A and B are shown apart, each in its own frame.
Chain A
Amino acid sequence: MSEGPGISPAATMRAMVTGDRDRWVKLLMFCCASVSFLGVLLIFLFIFRESLPAITKVGIPKLFLSTDWRPASGHYGMLAFTFGTLFTTVAAMIIAAPLGIGAAVFIDQVAPEKVGRGVRRVIELLAGIPSVVIGWFALTLLVPFIRSVTGSSGFGMLAASLVLVVMSLPTITTLSAESLRAVPVELKEASAAMGATRWQSIYKILMPSAREGLIIAVVLGMGRAIGETMAVQMVIGNASQATASLLQPGSTLTTRIVQDMGEASGVFRSALFAQALMLLLLSVFLIISIRLISRERKHA
């Protein structure tokens, strides 16, 4: 039944063995957690490695800051596509942010419980629809629609932006709804008790309290939009010059890569990797922004 008292050699050894095993286990689990670091590191390293030929041969100004894209004669300026990415993203957010936050307010505050739950399910479903399916839908319905209304080809920045609205909407709505739900009930009740109408409560109390979360929701929606590839590529027209006109075809960083990668080799291929590097930097920039926003709130 009872083994001897605690300080016998056998017992001490057993304690040591168990302790050691615990230490090995902790190390193994730490390695698993470090895969995240390993992943980021490897991705950065390999993308950078593949971009290096282009960076050295073409030079950073001509590669990142030039809109001159003529691969046939060795010009690989990606600025037009960086612009395309930013333009379509911002244009998409102009619609998606109010739509997404509004839908979140609807789910959380305005709709009766069952309707709210239903819309939430719709959003979850929308989030899971593959990019190519949305792209195909846009190609068969949206592009002809734009064509008939505006007389243009239908392909272009407008179609691309609308596609990005659909793709970033679930992210924005879900995260906004979470932020709204996180606002303490006492705040909402206090506002109602003071005789504020529902809209006044929402506008003056609820949304400002959730402001940080709502901003982060939109920023992450932008991240989603920046990274979208297939759906955008199918409707944007894939032209290689910068354009601020909604009805003209254009390209983004992601669509340019997928458009040209199949044929590219050598420096051309490396230039496309450099565009991926640009995307990587944009993502890191977004993450740091989010961290800064959160930290600001904590000090406020």
Chain B
Amino acid sequence: MRGKQPAMVGERSTGAIIGRIIVYSILIVAALYFLIPFFVMAMTSFKSMNDIRTGNLISLPREFTLDAWAKAWGSACTGINCEGVKGYFWNSVQMVVPAVIISTLIGAINGYVFSKWRFKGSETLFSLLLLGCFIPFQIILLPMSLTLGKLRIAQSVYGLIFVHVVYGIPFTSLFFRNFYVTIPDEIIKAAKVDGAGFFRIFWKIILPVSLPIFVVAIIWQTTQIWNDFLFGVAFSGSDSQPITVALNNLVNTSTGVKEYNVDMAAAIIAGLPTLLVYIVAGKYFLRGLTAGAVKG
């Protein structure tokens, strides 16, 4: 990726220096544009309501307080419940962990078949599966809510896990398949000649080199499922709502005095897990993001 010489190398003339200054200024202004909303969120969450009313968006807290955080976590009202977002945070955790593990494992084995054990029609079937990455989910909302009711997992975390696994598989299958096609077929053929079978080859040859793509798939699925709102709002009950739904309820509550500091603390709590994933493994996050978009 970094093989190319930069475009703007050259003599250090006055013009070039001015050019550099302009380029850096623009980049810094852009960085501020992306950072300021988060800065505003953080500052607001550390203020008291009185401080908010007398100050402004970017003023620093006159009195640094974590009251809003405590309230957002433990006692803020999201709709009719006034127990903060902590329960919903754990709902999200309970939903994300199994859904990510199951959809990633299924995707891995699917990708293995669709790249290394192709059969007649498998390419077509794979393309048909891929469509699942692109459908607007409104087209499946009604049948899914009827089906979850029939399966008796409506309005439960299990229902949400099921939905996220089903509609995550097309993505994970795509990730693993695109990764496994880069493994030379000769290695597989040699292993077959030596008498290794389907699962043995997967276990001994494919899995040991799969770590990067597992990281990509797990990160992608984790952020997608954690950040999901549509399935959460359509299929959860009041005690199985994920954090995104709770945050939306909190922000949109119209009863009582609006506490913007509590809203912002809750928003940061809801955003923190995926933000941490991004900071720790940004490279893999980006790879997942662009996997379906650019070839190669």
Partners in one complex: no
Using a CB–CB distance below 8 Å, which chain B residues touch chain A?
A: none
Using a CB–CB distance below 8 Å, which chain A residues touch chain B?
A: none
